[in-house]
Amino acid sequence: MYCSDKPKNDKVEGLLTEPESEGVIYDRSHCKFESFSDRFRLVKDRNFSRQYAHIYAERLLSMRPKLAEAAKHKWGKDVKIQKLHELESDVKCVLIGTLFKHMELQPSILKEISDEHSLIPQPVLSKYTGENDKLILEDELQRIILVGELKVATSITGVIVAVYGVEPEDDKGKFHVEEYCFQELPAQPELPKLENDRYVALVSGLGIGSKNEKLFQLQMMIDMLTGCLGDEGHQEATSKIAGIIVAGNSLSPDTQDKDSLNKAKYLMKKTAAGSVEAMKSLDDIIAQLAACMDVILMPGEFDPSNFTLPQQPLHRCMFPKGSRYPTLNCVANPLDCSLDGVRFLGTSGQPVTDIDQYSEINDCLEILNKTLIWGHLAPTAPDTLGCYPFYSEDPFILKHCPHILFAGNQPELKHRIHKGPQGQRVLVLTVPKFYKSSTCALINLRTLDVQPLVFETSALDDTWEEDRLTLAGKVVMQNFGWHLNIACRGEHSLLKELYDSNASLFRYRLCCPLVRKFGCLLEDVKVVTLTGTTNALLSLNCLEIGIMNLINSCPA
């Protein structure tokens, strides 16, 4: 099965036989989808005139008892937990409050409007951190500057922390931190024991609607997931993929026309938005996927949903074809759900990208891991990340521990198992942008393993005019042999000699170029995928030429 590192290729001859009237049918696994995202849905009240002070007050008041408990576990039951106004000099105690990071380079509306003569807008930087940043702890009444062990570079505004230290007599106004701690990871429900392997695909950043959109790779991925690609062994493996989560940015940023924001409405009457065509393409894609498996669609930064977090689900009226299937679930961003009892919690990547801009942490997986440690999904909301002014609860606080924590639209696919103090095991996963990396992640719900599925196309420029064929694929070197992954698209001609010849001859002709170039043994070459669109066959010469080009272009 191709989802392991020793794929079996005993069923590849099935591709070269005449199509039977009845083939083997594999039933797709199902998984039960249960949503726990009610707290992210703004259904009842949408009062945007409220101040953001309430969300910070609610955050501090909710998390204070949990931090007090964590502080007592770490520094002993008798440690003094005090408020800032009760602070005495030269007495060691614990303070609990919200962190505020003062950055010079942070874009500020006051700086923008203060010099009216020089209307130079503040530059957009990749990181707004500087050397002179200061860390301040605020509680309900007062604030104090923090120095010492809590490093400014790796901290961000909005995290609730408990610090242990002292305010010295000769340096009043500054609290010298010796140790610090955050909320303890809450209890995790038990991972359900599944008898068979069941997979869930995770993809983000499809980027439809731009010139750089990778429609061929996307179609390859859809064909693979819906079971149109591969021999019987492949199809059996694909039937175990029970669902797909699309984590945001299905539309490309190019669909957002920035000029239309400034132009007068009467000039824009006849122009259609750039996102209309893109949504139609997305609907086609979603309909293909929803016909076969559960699709969970989250909105992202560039999707037609609201700007502030939590983003509301994409409306089903935009999916006329897709919404006819009950398997399409349009959900909010962030997502809190369970698939077959495995708890997923994740976002489309906006909190992680925002933290990346305001701290010196460079690794996106590290940032996601830190949000788990800090106990808050989006600490920078509402300071630098747009957020709805909540009043009665802060829904981003981690109240239970998920099994899988993910963030979409990150630079790379990285994953790690985070181990909690009470034996919790969380799979922390960053999903890359599909329009850059053509990668989707496959998670095994039984073992929490992650496997990347890469749909690279390196020989896309080789088109043969006679057959109007495009051949694409890659040659993958594994340490136990050669794998040839090919996908083909285009018009083709039936080839009688393929029917007559047997599979070993076909393999010989196909794999000769590999043998010639790299000097490996014929037995070591495994043809993993050789497919077209449903039982189509190709001209063998074209195939040979295409494979030669592929092999020549792959790094030695």
Partner 1 sequence: MSAKTKTITDSFKRTKQVTSLKQKLPISDVKSSSSKDGSQREQDIAILKQFDLTLEFGPCIGVTRLERWMRAEKHGLNPPKDVKELLDQHINDPEYTDCLWKDYAI
In the complex, minimum distance from the CB of residue 83 to partner 1, in angstroms, rounded to a whole number: 9
Q: Of the two residues 58 and 254, which places its CB atom closer to partner 1 in the complex?
A: 58
Q: Of the two residues 396 and 434, which places its CB atom closer to partner 1 in the complex?
A: 396
In the complex, minimum distance from the CB of residue 397 to partner 1, in angstroms, rounded to a whole number: 13
- Angle value at C-alpha 280, between 274 and 284, nearest 5 degrees: 150
- Positive or negative torsion for Cα 249, 250, 253, 255: negative
d(CA 463, CA 470): 5
Interacting residues toward partner 1 by CB under 8 A = 49-51, 53-54, 57-58, 61-62, 140-141, 391-392
d(CA 505, CA 244): 38
Q: Of the two residues 176 and 399, which places its CB atom closer to partner 1 in the complex?
A: 399
Angle of helix 540-553 versus helix 503-518 axis, rounded to 10: 30
Q: 3-state DSSP call for residue 343?
A: strand
In the complex, minimum distance from the CB of residue 446 to partner 1, in angstroms, rounded to a whole number: 40
In the complex, minimum distance from the CB of residue 46 to partner 1, in angstroms, rounded to a whole number: 15
Q: Of the two residues 382 and 513, which places its CB atom closer to partner 1 in the complex?
A: 382
**Residue 382, preceding peptide bond in cis (omega within 30° of 0):** yes
Q: Are 349 and 202 in contact (CB under 8 A)?
A: no
Instruction: Give Rg (Cα) of the chain.
Output: 28
In the complex, minimum distance from the CB of residue 315 to partner 1, in angstroms, rounded to a whole number: 30
Please name the helix (run of DSSP H) or strand (run of DSSP E) that holds residue 134, with its range, or none: strand 134-138
In the complex, minimum distance from the CB of residue 136 to partner 1, in angstroms, rounded to a whole number: 17
Q: Of the two residues 138 and 363, which places its CB atom closer to partner 1 in the complex?
A: 138
Question: Looking at residue 165, what DSSP letter applies?
Answer: E
In the complex, minimum distance from the CB of residue 60 to partner 1, in angstroms, rounded to a whole number: 9
Q: Of the two residues 141 and 317, which places its CB atom closer to partner 1 in the complex?
A: 141
HEC states along 507-521?
HHHHHHHHHHHHCCC
In the complex, minimum distance from the CB of residue 144 to partner 1, in angstroms, rounded to a whole number: 16
In the complex, minimum distance from the CB of residue 449 to partner 1, in angstroms, rounded to a whole number: 42
Q: Are 48 and 388 in contact (CB under 8 A)?
A: yes
In the complex, minimum distance from the CB of residue 350 to partner 1, in angstroms, rounded to a whole number: 26
C-alpha torsion angle, residues 61, 63, 66, 71 (rounded to 10)? -90
Question: In a 10 Å sphere around its CB, with 0-12 CB exposed, 13-18 middle and 19+ buried, how is residue 461 labelled?
Answer: exposed
Q: Of the two residues 61 and 494, which places its CB atom closer to partner 1 in the complex?
A: 61
Q: Of the two residues 65 and 168, which places its CB atom closer to partner 1 in the complex?
A: 65
Q: Of the two residues 57 and 454, which places its CB atom closer to partner 1 in the complex?
A: 57
Nearest to 472 by CA among 383, 353, 409, 553: 553
d(CA 391, CA 388): 9
Q: Which amino acid is at 281?
A: S
Q: Of the two residues 98 and 129, which places its CB atom closer to partner 1 in the complex?
A: 98
d(CA 172, CA 429): 43
Q: Are 524 and 8 in contact (CB under 8 A)?
A: no
Which tokens belong to 415? 């994953």
